[in-house]
Structure 1
Amino acid sequence: MAETLRVASVNVNGIRAAFRKGMGEWLATSGVDVLALQEVRADNSHIEELLGGDWHILHDPCQIKGRAGVAIASRMPSTAHRIGLGAPDTQESIQSSGRWLEADFMLGSTPITVISNYTHSGEVDTPKQEAKWAFLDAMGERMNELMDEREFVAIVGDFNVGHRELDIKNWRGNVKRSGFLPRERSYFDRFFGPRGEIVTGVDGTEGAGYGWIDVGRRFAGEVDGPYTWWSNRGQAFDNDTGWRIDYQVVTPALAERVEDYRVDRYPSYDTRWSDHAPVIVDYRA
């Protein structure tokens, strides 16, 4: 059994385009054991052809062709997997189409669950934001269930929310935009608050903490970023005017097994194969 499990997560912004721009070269040298992808926007045959035969692939495409889509590729086969949030055919299930994929693995005698999550981006005062609220509610319910059921869980991917001011370079200019709304950030205050304790969110609301751990913030400390997404406008990437919206969120027991965390930021703007950078965590098996 390997001494560490390397889990990488990245919003590829279309896996076929990402491979045309160099994702394959990155993957070949990454040493990744479990790869969680978001915004795949491709068929199963495309993923299998691009990744090759050495990977076990799970994929939940979006019901709307050309949108969203999450996948998990792994060096070892999964023991089980589940798709979506909420009961089948409910609004929550429909809104999580292509956005939530759970896979169970065995590391020796240790069971671990990895979830590829692609939260709605939202847009203030539109149905897109309503879909985001519903998704966040359903995600919170599932997080509580998982905490009760399992010891080692990692929810990874594009959460489309910068939790704190440290997570967005230009946070003052974004407090009224989806992705940094006080109500959105308060969900994360509760997600990362001590389990069962009453947490006051940044929007003033109160609720019980869920007890999950933000690996990136714990590992990096109280510093700006490290950012994981940069707008294509202007010189955002060159100036590191980014957002940290891609996370690895884990149960306390798994947090104790973190060996290393990093954002695989591209060397330069013209070497990027996505507008998001991979987030990589090594877990002690």
Structure 2
Amino acid sequence: MRIVSLHVDGLQQAVDKGLYTWLQGADADVIALQNLKAKEYQLSDDVLYPDGYNAYFFDAEADHYSGVAILTRDMPKAIMTGLAFSHCDLQGRYIQADFDHVSVGSILFPSVDEHNSLEDKLAFQQAFLEHLQKTRRKRREFIFCGNFEAAHKTVDIANWQDAQQSPGFLPEERAWFDQMFGPVGFVDAFREANFGENQFTWWPDADSARRNLNGWRKDYQICTPNVRQYVVDAKIDTNLQFGDHAAVMVEYEFDDE
């Protein structure tokens, strides 16, 4: 199962720039998209019905803001939207596709902006951590993909010395990752197969994003511990021009494939 995760910064504009053409070449089984910036009814038919995929959307209440989608080559057994806490659900930040033995989610964490304070972001992190704890009690595996709006370790950010007091790399945010990958037991799937440096997915200056190393790794695929043995490849496509984020691509070879 090849899974691609991408923060598109507006789905309609990304498709107009060739996103779906690129996805055909990527040969992904599941595509998790974030920050659609449009409600489903506002999207054109060529966006709603990508060739070869089933497309599912979850909108934010506000116009031109947030929203997530998941595209699947095979028909999922079920689609779930929201995480049962208002900060997530009213802002259209989570959608999940369930398959036989694994569920794949597309999630968009809030940034600190005119809609969300730092306290809102930290509360979202805590609520999601509690959701992760609940999933560990279920008899299925999970892969959560998306923009987590933060970097975990110093290797995940180029200018980490200067960013320690900036939202996205604050001590409490990094401690949250420690909890998720520690006691809660989730795994950074990307790092199971890719240990390289300069593996960034977002650049503060979009104009120089592909020309310098002023980057952060904000986009992740995390999985339950039993999935880690099936991760065989992971890479970041930094050549995309659909927004200021790069695509995260992870290959899972499950036994029943």
| Maintained 8 Å contact 2:198/2:213 | no
C-alpha displacement at 1:94, in angstroms? Answer: 4.6
User: What is the TM-score normalised by the length of structure 2?
Assistant: 0.91
Specify whether residues 213 and 179 from structure 1 end up closer, same or farther in structure 2 by C-alpha distance, changes over 3 A only.
same
Residues 1:112 and 1:233: Cα distance change in structure 2 (over 3 Å): closer
- CA displacement 1:27-68 (0-9 Å, x = unmatched): 121101101000012232526522535321111111111101
Distance, in Å, in 2 between the alignment partners of 1:216 and 1:276 is 16
Say if 1:229 and 1:245, in contact at 8 Å, map to a contact too. Answer: yes
After superposition, what is the alpha-carbon deviation per residue over 1:234-272, rounded to whole angstroms, capped at 9, x for unaligned? 634301221001000001111111121111110xxxx61
How many pairs were matched up? Answer: 252
1:8 and 1:251, CA in 2 relative to 1: closer, same or farther beyond 3 A?
same
Tell me the CA shift for residue 184 of structure 1.
Answer: 0.7
Correspondence for 1:24 among 2, 20, 40: 20
2:237 is aligned to 264
**2: distance between equivalents of 1:179 and 1:81?**
30
Report what 1:232 is aligned to: 205
Q: 1:247 to 1:93 in 2, by over 3 A?
A: closer
Partner of residue 117, structure 1: 107
Amino acid of the residue matched to residue 127 of structure 2? A
CA distance in 2, matches of 1:127, 1:242: 23
Please give the alpha-carbon distance, in whole angstroms, between the structure 2 residues aligned to 1:258 and 1:284. 7
> Structure 1: which 5+ runs fail to align?
194-208
8 A Cα contact 2:7 2:34, kept in partner: yes
Select the residue among 85, 93, 100 that pairs with 1:99: 93
- Where do 1:1-285 residues align within 5 Å? 5-45=1-41, 46=43, 48-50=45-47, 51-86=49-84, 91-94=86-89, 97-106=91-100, 111-122=101-112, 127-193=116-182, 209-221=183-195, 223-232=196-205, 235-266=208-239, 272-285=241-254
Cα distance in 2 between the residues matched to 1:23 and 1:234: 19
Q: In structure 2, the residue corresponding to 1:216 is in which secondary structure? A: helix
**Separation in 1 of the partners of 2:18 and 2:151?**
27
Contact in 2 for aligned 1:86/1:138 (Cα 8 Å): no
- Aligned identity (percent) is 32
The answer to whether the 8 Å contact 2:39/2:67 transfers is no
Q: Distance in 2 between matches of 1:93 and 1:43?
A: 16
Contact 1:151 1:253 in 2 (8 A): no
RMSD: 2.0
By how many angstroms is 1:92 displaced?
Answer: 4.0
Q: Distance in 1 between matches of 2:84 and 2:193?
A: 32
Tell me the TM-score normalised to structure 1 length. 0.82
- Contiguous gaps of at least 5 residues in structure 2: none
What's the CA shift for 1:19? 1.8
Q: Secondary structure at the match of 1:29?
A: helix
* AA in 2 matched with 1:119: F
Once the 2 structures are TM-superposed, how far is the Cα of residue 166 of structure 1 from its aligned partner? Answer: 0.5
| Counterpart-to-counterpart distance in 1, 2:226 and 2:72 | 22
Which of 1 and 2 has greater Rg? 1
Once residues 118 and 249 of structure 1 are traced to their aligned partners in structure 2, the CA distance between those partners, rounded to angstroms, is: 13
Deviations 1:150-203 (A, max 9, x none): 43210001001100111000111111111001001100001001xxxxxxxxxx
- CA distance, structure 2, for counterparts of residue 250 and residue 189 of structure 1: 15
Cα distance in 1 for residues equivalent to 2:30 and 2:45: 15
Q: Give the secondary structure class of the aligned counterpart of 1:172.
A: coil
